[in-house]
Amino acid sequence: MKSVEIKPDIYWVGAIDWAVRDFHGYLTPNGTTYNNYLIMDEQVTLVDTVKQDFNTHTIKNIKSLTDPSKIVNIVINHIEPDHASSLDSIMALCPNATIYITNKGQKGLARHFDISKWKIKIVKTGDTLKTGKYTLSFLETPMLHWPDSMMTYVNEAKLLFSQDAFGQHLATSARFDDDFVECASITELNDAVVDYYANILMPFGRLIKSKIAEVQKLGLEIDMIAPDHGIIWRKDPGSILKQYLDLANGKAELRIALIYDTMWHSTERMTIPIMQGIKDEGVDCKVIKLRATPMSVAIKEFWKSRGCLIGSPTLNNLLFPSVAEFLTHLRGLRPKDRIMGAFGSYGWGGGAVRDANEEFKRMKLEMVEPGIQVLYKPSLEDENQCYEFGKNFAVKVKEYHKNFI
Ligand code: FEO
């Protein structure tokens, strides 16, 4: 897609990846974009690059605006390869350009490229770069997303280049939020924001809150947020800031995600009366079978819901592997403000429900113990107990949810 002017003399020059479905293990059914930006000021300045496979896209877009040899500055807000792996291709076209990057960014860059001949300027929060009519201010945001990360604010344009933050994995010809909503819907956009937050930024809620507070304290007026993935927020950038604050504060729906896997359908049979018990308590319920659902979707559904029930058969005295994988993945995302419970079937010794409860404790999540186990296949009596288990768990979730309203 050709370059798009987003502010006077500031252009999106990125690439759209319509086909990516596995983004380092994160399933992306809607593809993604690698956004980077060119400031056509007295000093031509590039902000970020794109994934290496797409370097011809961004180079073509840059060439449509200027000779790349005229690039004077390159700001690298984040060194993850989806944003920085084209840097050597770009530097080959403008070898005299100066790279602006954080200290940790430079160290990371040196692990990916031979940087010995590159001019690099280390920047920290508060440092500025005057490109002509525009002034760029740098704001370090370590761990949002990596230790090297920073954001760049263009003072005169009230524009924040936010790298991963406020992004979405959406391949779309729409470049702006209002364009996207016009051709798709706000629901689809919000869902993409939650999906991205849950799978990438969930561990960093506290940092997000403190960075947003820092931006507010600096009194930065923001009328556009341009992330490195997905659409650009121009219609109402305040709405995405609020959405992020809500997500960081643990906002969730009064709803239960029932996430399970099954061997011979016994654990699966348990989900039906449990779900019915939940519904009869007036709580919405989403049922997800792990081997039939991408991990990233299960994570998103977990994050949207105040409560979560994990169902697993016992295999060799342990959790079923797909359930263990899900819980390990979830633990790495350091979830908060959710309440958990466990259920499952077993043949002799048991162990899956016990291990699920242990995982919840390691994650320091609220939980309802001890869960429910069924020997081999649920009997009618077992199904009645599952129904009561679902009702009781829904009551606990409703009670817990009151802490957040
Ligand atoms: Fe989109 Fe942390 O890279």
Say if residue 57 is preceded by a cis peptide, omega within 30 of 0.
Answer: no
* pLDDT tens digits in sequence order for the chain, 405 residues long: 899 999 999 999 999 999 999 888 888 989 999 999 999 999 999 999 999 999 999 999 999 999 999 999 999 999 999 999 999 999 999 999 999 999 999 999 999 999 999 999 999 999 999 999 999 999 999 988 899 999 999 999 999 999 999 999 999 999 999 999 998 899 999 999 999 999 999 999 989 999 888 888 888 899 999 999 999 999 989 999 999 999 999 899 999 999 999 999 999 999 999 999 999 999 999 999 999 999 999 999 999 999 999 999 999 999 999 999 999 999 999 999 999 999 999 999 999 999 999 999 999 999 999 999 999 999 999 999 999 999 999 999 999 999 998
Q: What integer pLDDT is reported at residue 310 of this predicted model?
A: 98
Q: Which amino acid is at 162?
A: S
Backbone angles phi and psi of 72, in degrees to 5: -100, -40
The contacts of residue 237 (CB under 8 Å, 6+ apart) are 160, 222, 223, 224, 225
List 145, 228, 261, 387, catalytic entry: 145
Residue 314 Cα to ligand 1 middle (Å): 37
Catalytic residue status for 329: no
Catalytic residue status for 11: no
Q: Which of 120, 121, 128, 126 is nearest to 140 (CA)?
A: 126
Residue 163 Cα to ligand 1 middle (Å): 7
Q: Does the C-beta of 51 come closer than 6 Å to ligand 1?
A: no
Q: What integer pLDDT is reported at residue 22 of this predicted model?
A: 87
Catalytic residue status for 177: no
Q: What is the pTM of this model?
A: 0.92
Q: Does the C-beta of 228 come closer than 6 Å to ligand 1?
A: yes
List 48, 82, 177, 301, catalytic entry: 82
Q: What does the H/E/C string look like for the chain?
A: CCCEEEECCEEECCEEECCCCEECCEECCCCEEECCEEECCCCEEEECCCCHHHHHHHHHHHHCCCCHHHEEEEECCCCCHHHHCCHHHHHHHCCCCEEEECHHHHHHHHHHCCCCCCEEEECCCCCEEECCCCEEEEEECCCCCCCCCEEEEEHHHCEEEEECCCCCCCCCCCCEHHHHHHHCCHHHHHHHHHHHHHHHHHHHHHHHHHHHHHHHHCCCCCCEEEECCCCEECCCHHHHHHHHHHHHCCCCEEEEEEEECCCCCHHHHHHHHHHHHHHHCCCEEEEEEHHHCCHHHHHHHHHHEEEEEEECCEECCEECHHHHHHHHHHHHCCCCCCEEEEEEEECCCCCHHHHHHHHHHHCCCEECCCCEEEECCCCHHHHHHHHHHHHHHHHHHHHHHHHHC
Task: Tell me the per-residue pLDDT of 266-310, one tens digit each, with 9 for 90 and over.
Answer: 999 999 999 999 999 999 999 999 999 999 999 999 999 999 999
The contacts of residue 393 (CB under 8 Å, 6+ apart) are 256, 274, 277, 278, 307, 309, 341, 368
Q: What integer pLDDT is reported at residue 19 of this predicted model?
A: 94
> Mean pLDDT across the chain, nearest whole number?
96
Q: What integer pLDDT is reported at residue 27 of this predicted model?
A: 86
Catalytic residue status for 53: no
Q: Does the C-beta of 169 come closer than 6 Å to ligand 1?
A: no
Q: What integer pLDDT is reported at residue 145 of this predicted model?
A: 87
Q: What integer pLDDT is reported at residue 405 of this predicted model?
A: 85
Q: Which atom of ligand 1 is nearest to the CA of 163?
A: 1
**Cα–Cα separations (whole angstroms), residue 166 to 89, 144, 148, 342:** 27, 11, 17, 33
